[in-house]
Amino acid sequence: MKKKAEEIIEPEKKYRVGRWHELPNYECTLCPFSTLSKERMEEHITEVHAPPPTPWTEVKPPKYDRFGNLVEEKE
């Protein structure tokens, strides 16, 4: 009995591995891009879908209470 072509979905990697003839085919889950090269796919994810670096200083919008007074948030 022949095994069905397995499809491995790796959520962290944002691509899945399918089959193209006898070769593993790497398919981006975020856009129609696909490639036979795992390196190329990892490059694609990094270049196209990598989130921008998070700034260390988080800017919070000012908060006001129901009287319209600025609420200072304590760390």
Q: Which of 13, 33, 34, 35 binds Zn ion (CB under 5 A)?
A: 33
Q: How far is residue 50's CA from residue 24's CA, in Å, rounded to a whole number?
A: 23
Decide: is 25 part of the binding site for Zn ion (CB under 5 A). no
Output Rg (C-alpha) for the chain, integer angstroms. Answer: 22
28 interacts with Zn ion by CB under 5 A: yes
Q: How far is CA 33 from the centre of its chain?
A: 14
For CA atoms 62, 63, 68, 69, give the dihedral sign: negative
Smaller CB separation from Zn ion, 10 or 63: 10
Q: Which residue of 31, 37, 38, 63 would you call a contact of Zn ion, by CB under 5 A?
A: 31
The vertex-39 CA angle with 34 and 41, nearest 5°, equals: 25
Please tell me the count of residues contacting Zn ion according to CB under 5 A: 4
Q: Taking contact as CB under 5 A, which single stretch among the options 1-9, 18-26, 32-40, 54-62 is the one that binds Zn ion?
A: 32-40
Q: Which residues bind Zn ion (CB under 5 A)?
A: 28, 30-31, 33
